[in-house]
C-alpha cells in the first residue's frame, strides 16, 4: 500500500511533465495521421466457383462442390501470376495512384474466402478510391477470361463488381489518436520516474537516512524583502 501511495505521489508531483509529454505525442500523432499519411482505399469484387453438372451427375454435386472449394487456392496463385497481372497492369497504369509495376500491383491485391465457401473475394488497395475499384474489377475480369484457357474450365463467374469506397480503410484516425494518447501517457509517466530516480536533491531527513548521511543542520529560507530591510 505504501509503495502504491509513493507511485501516485511521484505522478502527482510530476503531473505537469506528464501532461506536456502526452500533449506533444498526441499532437505529433494527430499531425502525422491527418496531414502526412496518405489515405488508402480498398474495393472488393466477388467471384463464384460453380461448375454446372449434367442431370445424370447430380449425385456427385457434393464432391464437386468440395473440389471447387479446394481449387480456390489454385485460383489465388493464378490471379497473382504474371499471366493475369501483366494484362491488368496495361489497363490500369495510366490511372491516378496506380501501381508502377506488376510486383507492386501484386502487393496491392489480396484474395480471401470463407471456409467451405465457393465464393472468394478479390480486394485491391490504392490511394485513389476509383483506381482501387478499377484494379479489383479488371483483375476479376482478366482472371475470368484467362482461367478457362489455362485450366480448361468455365466454372468461374463474377458475383458482384467493386465500387469506389467512400471512406478510406487507412489510416484509422480514432485508433491512431487513442494510441498516441496511451503512448504519451506511458512516456510521460516513464520520464517522471526517471527524473525521480535521477534526482539527488535533499528534500527531507528520510532521504539523508536512506543515503547513509548525517544531518548537520538546517538553513531556513529567508525572505529577500525582510533581508533588505534588516541591512538598512
Q: Residues 144-163, buried b or exposed e (16+ Cβ, 10 A)?
A: eebbeeeeeeebbebeeebe
Q: pLDDT at position 65, please?
A: 58
One domain for residues 47 and 136? yes
Positive or negative CA dihedral for 11, 16, 17, 22? positive
Q: pTM, whole model, 2 decimals? A: 0.68
One domain for residues 152 and 118? yes
In a domain, 220, yes or no: no
CA distances from 190 to 106, 157, 182 (A): 43, 57, 12
One domain for residues 15 and 29? yes
Q: Which residues of the chain have pLDDT under 50?
A: 57-58
Q: pLDDT at position 28, please?
A: 96
In a domain, 88, yes or no: yes
Q: pLDDT at position 216, please?
A: 60
Tens digit of each residue's pLDDT (9 = 90 or more) over 135-181? 999 999 999 988 888 877 777 889 999 999 989 988 899 999 999 99
Structural domain total, the chain? 2
Return the percentage of the chain with pLDDT > 90, whole number. 44
One domain for residues 134 and 184? no
CA distances from 183 to 4, 79, 170, 174, 178 (A): 22, 41, 20, 14, 9
In a domain, 31, yes or no: yes
Beta strands (DSSP E) in the chain are 41-49, 109-113, 119-126, 156-160
Q: Which of 112, 117, 110, 111 is nearest to 69 (CA)?
A: 117
Q: pLDDT at position 60, please?
A: 55
Q: Estimate to the nearest angstrom the gap between the alpha carbon of 86 and the chain centroid.
A: 29
Domain assignment of residue 27, given as a range:
2-35+172-198
Q: How far apart are CA 21 and CA 14, in angstroms?
A: 11
Q: pLDDT at position 95, please?
A: 92
One domain for residues 18 and 108? no
Contact call for residues 88 and 145 (beta carbons, < 8 A): no
One domain for residues 46 and 24? no
Q: How far apart are CA 122 and CA 83, in angstroms?
A: 16
In a domain, 229, yes or no: no
One domain for residues 44 and 145? yes
What CATH number does residue 141 fall under?
3.30.70.1130
Q: Coil, strand or helix: which one is 158?
A: strand
In a domain, 165, yes or no: no
Contact call for residues 140 and 158 (beta carbons, < 8 A): yes
One domain for residues 123 and 73? yes
One domain for residues 31 and 134? no
Q: pLDDT at position 62, please?
A: 54
Q: pLDDT at position 52, please?
A: 56
Q: How far apart are CA 150 and CA 223, in angstroms?
A: 94
Q: pLDDT at position 4, please?
A: 77
Q: pLDDT at position 129, please?
A: 94
- End-to-end Cα, the chain, rounded Å: 53
Positive or negative CA dihedral for 178, 182, 183, 185? positive
Amino acid at each position: 500500500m505504501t509503495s502504491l501511495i509513493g507511485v501516485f505521489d511521484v505522478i502527482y508531483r510530476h503531473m505537469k511533465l506528464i501532461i506536456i509529454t502526452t500533449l506533444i505525442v498526441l499532437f505529433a500523432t494527430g499531425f502525422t495521421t491527418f496531414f502526412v499519411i496518405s489515405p488508402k482505399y480498398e474495393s472488393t469484387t466477388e467471384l463464384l466457383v460453380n461448375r454446372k453438372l449434367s442431370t445424370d451427375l447430380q449425385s456427385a454435386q457434393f464432391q464437386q462442390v468440395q473440389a471447387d472449394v479446394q481449387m480456390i487456392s489454385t485460383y489465388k496463385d493464378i490471379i497473382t501470376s504474371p499471366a493475369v497481372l501483366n494484362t491488368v497492369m496495361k489497363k490500369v497504369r495510366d490511372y491516378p495512384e496506380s501501381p508502377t509495376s506488376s510486383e507492386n500491383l501484386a502487393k496491392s491485391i489480396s484474395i480471401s474466402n470463407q471456409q467451405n465457401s465457393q465464393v472468394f473475394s478479390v480486394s485491391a488497395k490504392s490511394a485513389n478510391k476509383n483506381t482501387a475499384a478499377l484494379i479489383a474489377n479488371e483483375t476479376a475480369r482478366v482472371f475470368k477470361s484467362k482461367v478457362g484457357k489455362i485450366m480448361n474450365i468455365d466454372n468461374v463467374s463474377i458475383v458482384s463488381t467493386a465500387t469506389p469506397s467512400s471512406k478510406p480503410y487507412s489510416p484509422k484516425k480514432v485508433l491512431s489518436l487513442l494510441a498516441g494518447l496511451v503512448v504519451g501517457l506511458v512516456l510521460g509517466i516513464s520520464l517522471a520516474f526517471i527524473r525521480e530516480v535521477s534526482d539527488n536533491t535533499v528534500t527531507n531527513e528520510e532521504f539523508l537516512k536512506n543515503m547513509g548521511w548525517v544531518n548537520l543542520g538546517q538553513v531556513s529560507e529567508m525572505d529577500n524583502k525582510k533581508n533588505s530591510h534588516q541591512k538598512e
